[in-house]
Structure 1
Amino acid sequence: MSEKTTLQKDFYRESGKWLSKFEIFKKCFNPNLHFIYLFRTTQKHPKNTVLGKFWRLVLRHYQIKYGFQIYPETQIGEGLYLGHWGLLAINPKVIIGKNCNIAQGVSIAQANRGKFIGTPIIGDEVWIGPNAVIVGGITIGNNVLIAPNVYLAEDVPDNSLVIGNPCRIFNIHNATEGYINNKV
Structure 2
Amino acid sequence: MPEHTVIQKDFYRESGRWLSSFEILKKCINPNLHFIFILRKAQQYNRKPVLGIFWKFILRHYQIKYGYQIYPETEIGEGFYLGHWGSLVINPNAKIGKNCNIAQGVTIGQQNRGKLQGFPTISDEVWIGSNAVIVGGITIGNNVLIAPNSYVNFDVPANSVVMGNPGTIYPTERATEAYINNTI
AA at the equivalent of 2:56:
R
Name 1:69's counterpart in structure 2. Answer: 69
Do 2:134 and 2:153's aligned partners in 1 also have CA atoms closer than 8 Å?
yes
AA at the equivalent of 1:106:
V
CA distance in 1: counterparts of 2:85 and 2:14, whole angstroms: 14
Q: Secondary structure at the match of 1:29?
A: coil
Which whole-Å deviations, capped at 9, do the CAs of 1:152-172 have from their partners, x for residues lacking one?
Answer: 000000000000111100110
Shift of 1:11: 0.2
- Give the alignment's Cα RMSD to 1 decimal: 0.7
Which whole-Å deviations, capped at 9, do the CAs of 1:88-139 have from their partners, x for residues lacking one?
Answer: 0000000000000000000000001012000000000000000000000000
Name 2:114's counterpart in structure 1. Answer: 114
Shift of 1:177: 0.2
CA distance in 2: counterparts of 1:164 and 1:44, whole angstroms: 37
| Number of residue equivalences | 184
Name 1:103's counterpart in structure 2. Answer: 103
Name 1:182's counterpart in structure 2. Answer: 182
Shift of 1:2: 1.5
- The answer for unaligned runs of 5 or more in structure 1 is none
Do 2:77 and 2:98's aligned partners in 1 also have CA atoms closer than 8 Å?
yes
Name 1:87's counterpart in structure 2. Answer: 87
Q: How does 1:27-38 map to 2 (within 5 A)?
A: 27-38=27-38
Between the aligned residues of both structures, percent identity stands at 69
Structure 1 residue runs of 4 or more that deviate by more than 6 Å after TM superposition: none
Q: How does 1:156-171 map to 2 (within 5 A)?
A: 156-171=156-171
CA distance in 2: counterparts of 1:21 and 1:157, whole angstroms: 38
Shift of 1:47: 3.8
CA distance in 1: counterparts of 2:47 and 2:60, whole angstroms: 13
- Whether 1:41 aligns to 2:41 is yes
- Whether 1:128 aligns to 2:161 is no
Q: Secondary structure at the match of 1:108?
A: strand
Name 2:7's counterpart in structure 1. Answer: 7
Q: How does 1:132-143 map to 2 (within 5 A)?
A: 132-143=132-143
TM-score by length of 1: 0.98
Do 2:46 and 2:72's aligned partners in 1 also have CA atoms closer than 8 Å?
no
TM-score by length of 2: 0.98
CA distance in 1: counterparts of 2:109 and 2:48, whole angstroms: 26
Q: Secondary structure at the match of 1:56?
A: helix
Do 1:47 and 1:53's aligned partners in 2 also have CA atoms closer than 8 Å?
no
CA distance in 1: counterparts of 2:170 and 2:27, whole angstroms: 38
Do 1:9 and 1:79's aligned partners in 2 also have CA atoms closer than 8 Å?
yes
CA distance in 1: counterparts of 2:50 and 2:10, whole angstroms: 26
Shift of 1:48: 5.4
